[in-house]
Amino acid sequence: MNARTRGRQAKIQLEAEGYLELGMPEHALQTLGRLGDPAKFDVGALYLWGEGLRALERFFEALMPLERAAKAAPDDIRVRIALGWCYKRTGRLDLAIDALEQALLVEPEEPLLRYNLACYLSLAGRKRRALRYLSQALAIDPAYRELAEVESDFDRLRGDPDFQAICAAAANH
């Protein structure tokens, strides 16, 4: 691929990313369509394609480009987070948990990964691990406490004394 083609592709991806940031996923997908055959998309285009579909709540469809992006760029935590999001919403909590655990190997201090893992583990009925990851997320960034207190993923834990203690401890930081 020559420099001119790479420059054109980068410009199209930047435009699609802008549409996603503006909350216009349909436009982002239309823009990515100008790249041609999705089978030839690079990691960045695959991620944006998956994000566009995810934003449209087309979670099953989003899995294919996101899985391809994860395979091509296993250390890209953005892809892993998006995959986790889609797996959760397609009823595959096991894969959502695995996607975020893989991301933690790359970015062990990222509180969002620990927070989302706590959410998914809570939904899976794995209380101890959920509370451990929630505690770790709040230790890194206590601002997640406000989210945890209203997050529906924690509904089954909300009345638990351990959950309440973890949230109270974060409030004191």
Band of residue 2 on the pLDDT scale cut at 50, 70, 90 = confident
User: What are the boundaries of each domain within the chain?
Assistant: 1-108, 109-173
Per-residue pLDDT of 97-139, as tens digits, reads 999 999 999 999 999 999 999 999 999 999 999 999 999 999 9
Asked whether residue 1 carries a pLDDT value surpassing 70, the answer given is no
Q: pTM for this one?
A: 0.90
* Residues with Cβ within 8 Å of residue 80, at least 6 apart in sequence: 70, 99, 100, 102, 103, 106, 113
The CATH code of domain 1-108 reads: 1.25.40.10
Count Cα neighbours of 36 within 13 Å in the Cβ-side half-sphere: 8
Per-residue pLDDT of 4-49, as tens digits, reads 878 889 999 999 999 999 999 999 999 999 999 888 899 999 999 9
